Amino acid sequence: MNHKKNSIFDVSFEDLKDILVDLGQPDYRIKQLWRSLYHEGKKSFSEITNISKDLRNILSKRFYIDLFKPKIYLSSKDLSTDKALFELKDGELIETVLMRYNSDGHRNSRKTVCISTQAGCALGCTFCATGQQGFRRNLTFGEIVKQVLYMRQLALSEDMKEVAKGSRTKGEIQGVTNIVFMGMGEPLANYDNIISAIRILNDPLGLNIGARHITVSTVGLVPQILKLSEEKIQINLAVSLHASDNETRSSTMPINKRYPIEELINACKKYISKTGRRIFFEYVLLSEHNDSEEHAYKLGKLLNGIKCHVNLIPVNPTDEGIYGRTKSDKARNFQAKLKKFNIPSTLRSEKGIDINAGCGQLRSRIEL
């Protein structure tokens, strides 16, 4: 019987287990294969030497190991941020960003990967480069995970170089420490695939990244937020708020007309009640649009008493965008106003401005 070859990364653990059982393999074989693919990052079946040559040959006739190779790869001048543009099998282009953070006395050094979940986006946020491109398709869970596999290989290679120099011990090898679903696309609009990807990323036999080091961002799809609250995964949820009233939010985020702020905030409260987890509210500062003292006061009143943390983010300007960056002193003043409502916040440090690290910006450049 002829089988069309597929990416092995688009086969779930259970389906792959069933295939091996049908081939007469013992139960432990699936764990060996899974660990080789995800934990060890093997690039071909010939490298998976803990299974027999006959089994490797059978699997290679049904599947291929198609790790990503970047079409374009850029590094920022300060070497803190790398960005890759990957071309998928059907020619679609997606972006992935690796961000390096040094220890600051409060948190250990970490390497965070920002991953895409869709080719394009249907939600049309006016300040977002991806939102200006339109939607083409969802990514498979394999395409989501392969972004992390590529960046992890790079991160581990950097760690090993530090070990060789004596600036890090083998016990301090980290690779990728954090994942944020904040790249191209709306993660919760590709719900099933992101949940499957998260389970692989979190799996001790997979990439073994702690659930509390994984953050999923959403523009505010209320039904999916409520559905996510029922999942038995202790991940972080980040909600892109970007305004404190419906008129301002609807002008930049069309989704607000379907799920207005009152409905969104109620869903967030239910999520917190169900999970016990705080929510991160993302707030992109847009000059002369949502960054006044009055906006800060409204935001403070809206979120007062909610278990949350606000990330204030200076916008990455785009060629097609109409918004400028809020000046740093005005951003600090905005943050000070929030503090009066006892709302913790972080003024996000800027990463990769010189390499267009904002999601969708590199793809836009390629298509010019």
Catalytic residues: 95, 359
Rounded CA-CA distance 248/270 in Å is 24
Torsion from C-alpha of 92, 132, 218, 78, nearest 10 degrees: 80
Rounded CA-CA distance 241/25 in Å is 50
Rounded CA-CA distance 268/310 in Å is 14
Q: 237: buried, middle or exposed (CB in 10 Å: 19+, 13-18, 0-12)?
A: buried
Structure tokens at 66: 């198609």
Tokens 């505010």, located at residue: 220
- C-beta contacts of 197-200 below 8 A and 24+ residues apart: 197/141, 197/144, 197/145, 198/233, 198/235, 199/233, 200/13, 200/38, 200/141, 200/145
Rounded CA-CA distance 174/58 in Å is 34
Query: Do 230 and 266 touch, CB atoms closer than 8 A?
Result: no
Tokens 């301002």, located at residue: 248
Residue 282: beta bridge partners? 240, 311
Q: In the 8-state DSSP scheme, what is residue 123?
A: S
**Can you state the angle between helices 293-303 and 328-339, rounded to 10 degrees?**
30
